Structure 1
Amino acid sequence: MTPKIDAIGVPASALPTAPGKSSAASPPASSLQASPPQDSVQLTAGARLIQSAQAAVSQAPDTDARRIADLKSAISEGRYSVNPERIASGLMRSQLELASP
């Protein structure tokens, strides 16, 4: 009769040995314990630059509250004027930038 193999995770010293073989041939389980693996990562200069840019952006406010207050004031007082040529020029410039390879 063949023994069932289901000793996954059981230390070798706790497993039965074959008849006529001694467990003294294998080193003790305490000497087989490996040290934990040491992982290391080295960032490139570009990755460090991106990391510092992300940190700067995360600390910046999402909106410029003063600019928003100034625009609201200008609109409510009728001082805000729309320049359609400037808007069209900006749209064309952004389209050209997106279309260029």
Structure 2
Amino acid sequence: FTNDDDVLLGDSVDLPCQNSLKVEWRRANSETLVHLYKDGKSQADEQHKDYHNRAYFLEKKTKDGNFSLRLKRLRAGDEGVYRCKVYRDQECVHSDDTELKL
């Protein structure tokens, strides 16, 4: 680590660490994007229009690594399998399917 400023014994320093975590929820059968988290925040503008203002993460929980999906105002068409994928540095490191039955 090199810094433009001199760092002396007894000083404090911030060491950089980029968060390359990306979490996406999709419909398993159609790959429709339900919700996306990247660059340290939810990306609601990238989700499919059917899920605007209905699908989101609880921001307090994402800080603890919990990316459970909250889906409001359920519709008959919401029934089915949802897939959560976690990426680190463009590589999928976790994938899990959850079936929603109404």
Q: TM-score, normalised by structure 2?
A: 0.19
Which of the two has higher C-alpha Rg?
1
Q: TM-score, normalised by structure 1?
A: 0.19
| Greater relative contact order structure (CA < 8 Å, 6+ sep) | 2
Q: Which has the higher strand share?
A: 2
